[in-house]
Chain A
């Protein structure tokens, strides 16, 4: 609705891909038999104590660096509240002294979203309420699985810089790419490795004060995120238009009826009684930690998009392109095929062609494409550019190259894609002219539409082996002769 501006801030919880949990040596794994990856520490048994997993700290710092955050000395706090899936009835989390602060993230469209903080905390267990519609208050009984309790999380809190549901989606998508690129997370929303809560508010266009926000939970996919924000924005505008007020509360997105429902109001909110966790000592990001965190981390997606984009036309900004290469660049970086493209171009392939084949054909099977030898890929692209192979043939060879490997030249020969010699191409062109005298006359009179028809006839009789460019040249030669 016009007249209002949408303001969204996102809190993204990301499970770290460590071998073990944050404060004990139990396996950090999804989908195991319930309550098998547990010990006195993650069950919160009396007398047990937490010890920080150094690898988790490294990955948290790595995420912070990828989000352009400042790493700082941090401490853990206890967040106290009673819930059956919390073994200790408090969560060890970072509060006012988090490990990463003040960063930003660049979206493919060039916009930037501020990152207020990216802090560490432990995950809770998983409760299944049986009966009563799956809510704790109506349930007949509840089952708790503590395998997830103590799994390391990093919570990434954005600034309220997001202005639409689509931008929110792009932010999470980009963040996910970054988390995967850092190796810190597998980024799987469906397995709960990535969980998103949205703080949504609206305000009259041009206002400088923020409106009252609602926190929307239970956003299990990018699609729910986008739909829930759209719904929530509409709901809030409707309230304001009716002269009512938005009340600050936590709301639950219900995929079933496509709407949000109030969970608890500000007044009902828990007093978490945060205080510094006395069982842990401060984390100081010393040189050893920062070095370990940086080890083996490649460039982040935004930087990789810039690099790829620069291949096409030095200096031109991705966001300002109008030629469709934007999507190809995003796709290629997303799928991790940019190194393949860079490699092929370095070996002499045409950048635009390399990008197109990577974004379209190679992208159909990204796992296999990642294993492609850039030299072989380049050799294939050069065969296509030189007219030795038609586009159709080139795609066929690429498919086989990805599924079976080998040398593109040999594959082309085996498939019968030998370059058609000029003599046989010429006789094929002559046959088509003889068989279609009217079309040939119209072509000679300058009818461009019929050129496509004639070309198609040659392609047909050559069973796709003819190089379209050479065929076109052959017709033009005969016309101009």
Chain B
């Protein structure tokens, strides 16, 4: 089956401008969004929960502000979707896990508060691989999300619900978290823009942790400009997160149209496997940038290939600790037992899915006495090598280009029985995560079977502005039909 272009919701700036001017009500914008959700949610399963009443109340609040002559903010009336690992007061936040089903956080994530303060209207919580562990949303305890480009294929993961919701035109903006590629990979597979910011640019307070040293929240949108605005709104120092950088939010929109003339662009040759359609797209993207005035060259950074194995030690190690708290004592699922230890074991045994258990066990092993140096210690050294290799490369280049993913969206079930094959999806996205650098995926081409292909732009720490300029140039050069929104 093939997808067809969907009606455009308009740019975020356009929506916000019309709502601020009182030309359209936030309530009317919301209605369009909710209609689209009603139309497609049955096919796609993007959401764990659509919060119609809360969204209507938020939209009404925006409209009241406009009527009172107050400015609701730069995202006035913009419907947004939130990955279901972002805490929302009084709204179930589950991480798509049985162990947290029905849990009602008593507080909002910093990102959620900032979106509300900017006038955005959250319409619901999107599906994900359980605790953000996966690359297909097939690990959700509540069933997978489908790719609007082809309902027989995965949307990618772990932020598959947010990516599919934007790709299907349900919302013009959604948020996910990226630990090793969980924003960029689904963005690529769904033909939209996804951005992972520099570690520390966006507060993690209220993001349910997977791997704390890697997790970072970022936006999904159909255009680079919309993603840039979404990021500007959520970025900036937060005293509640010790790893939050003490600097103002980056200004991205102001320089977005400055072009790439004179920029040095490196194609990471190590990720261009011969004859792959994703590699071909990168070569084409580089040619487009060269045509726009960039200096393009190939660069070999073999250390980046150390990223994947290092990541699959570090991330599970942190996860094994982060997920200890789901013990049945204070919240979430409890499966009773004759004593505390048994209750604990039964709760975790029944509450967690197979992939989460696999990673908890891998991480526990990697941190165990006698194995720590050989696994966790060694992985940290590899992480350092990746960082140093990037440093060297960025002496010669302003940005680097790679495929976002090794392949286009794959059919359901095709990788679930082979964890290593599934982990390989993150090959190109993991190095920036380990380094804490920003990276963006931009839809650039269609495969022969009509599936979107993303190109990844990498930049050094805090290089978001240059990265987004390059992304905008790629977007300008890409065929319109390579990006969403689409109707399945």
Contact = CB atoms under 8 A, between A and B. Distances in A.
Interface in B76-134: 85-87, 93, 95, 100, 103, 105-107, 109
B249 to A, nearest CB: 19
Given A82-B344, A90-B324, A279-B243, A47 B209 contact: yes
Interface stretch (B9-17, B61-69, B142-150, B364-372): B364-372
A322 interface: no
B317 interface: yes
B255 interface: no
A49 B205 contact: yes
A89 B324 contact: yes
Interface string A41-68: 0011111111110000000000000000
B325 to A, nearest CB: 5
Given A142-B340, A273-B367, A275-B376, A49 B321 contact: no
B229 to A, nearest CB: 25
Contacts of A142: 340
B103 A279 contact: no
B325 A89 contact: yes
B106 A90 contact: no
A314 B253 CA distance: 76
B204 interface: yes
Contact of A40 (B100, B103, B106, B372): B106
B212 A47 contact: no
Contact of A44 (B243, B325, B340, B368): B325
Most buried by B among A88, A90, A279: A279
B242 A50 contact: yes
Contacts of B339: 136-137
Contact of B325 (A51, A87, A271, A280): A87
Contact of B242 (A52, A82, A84, A89): A52
Contact of A47 (B109, B321, B344): B109
Contact of B87 (A46, A137, A144): A46
Contact of A278 (B100, B106, B212, B368): B212
A50 B82 CA distance: 23
B330 to A, nearest CB: 7
B5 interface: no
Contacts of B318: 275, 278
B206 to A, nearest CB: 4
B239 interface: yes
Contacts of A48: 107, 205-206
Interface string B173-204: 00000000000000000000000000000001
Contacts of B212: 278-279
A281 B243 contact: yes
A78 interface: yes
A281 B242 contact: yes
A45 B329 contact: no
Which interface class (under 10, 10 to 19, 20 to 34, 35 or more) fits A? 20 to 34
A218 interface: no
Interface string A271-294: 101110011110000000000000
B109 A90 contact: no
B291 interface: no
Contacts of B368: 271, 273
Contacts of B239: 51
A267 to B, nearest CB: 12
Given A88-B324, A90-B321, A144 B329 contact: yes
B317 A275 contact: yes
A82 B85 CA distance: 23
A50 B93 CA distance: 20
Contact of B208 (A47, A50, A278): A47
Nearest to A79: B321
Given A82-B344, A90-B321, A275-B321, A45 B242 contact: no
B485 to A, nearest CB: 30
Nearest to A88: B325
A78 B372 CA distance: 14
Interface string B361-400: 0001001110010001000000000000000000000000
Contacts of A220: none
B350 interface: no
Contacts of A52: 242
A326 interface: no
B324 A84 contact: no
Contacts of A167: none
Given A90-B321, A278-B318, A47 B329 contact: no
A80 interface: yes
B363 to A, nearest CB: 9
Given A47-B86, A47-B107, A80-B324, 4 more contacts: A47-B87, A78-B321, A90-B321, A273-B372
Interface of A: 40, 43-52, 78, 80, 82, 84, 87-90, 136-137, 142, 144, 271, 273-275, 278-281
Interface of B: 85-87, 93, 95, 100, 103, 105-107, 109, 204-209, 211-213, 239-243, 317-318, 320-321, 324-325, 327, 329-331, 339-341, 344, 364, 367-369, 372, 376
29 contacts: A45-B107, A46-B105, A46-B209, A47-B86, A47-B209, A48-B205, A49-B240, A49-B242, A50-B242, A51-B239, A51-B241, A51-B242, A78-B321, A80-B321, A82-B341, A84-B329, A87-B325, A87-B330, A88-B324, A89-B327, A90-B324, A136-B340, A144-B329, A273-B320, A273-B321, A273-B372, A274-B367, A275-B367, A279-B209
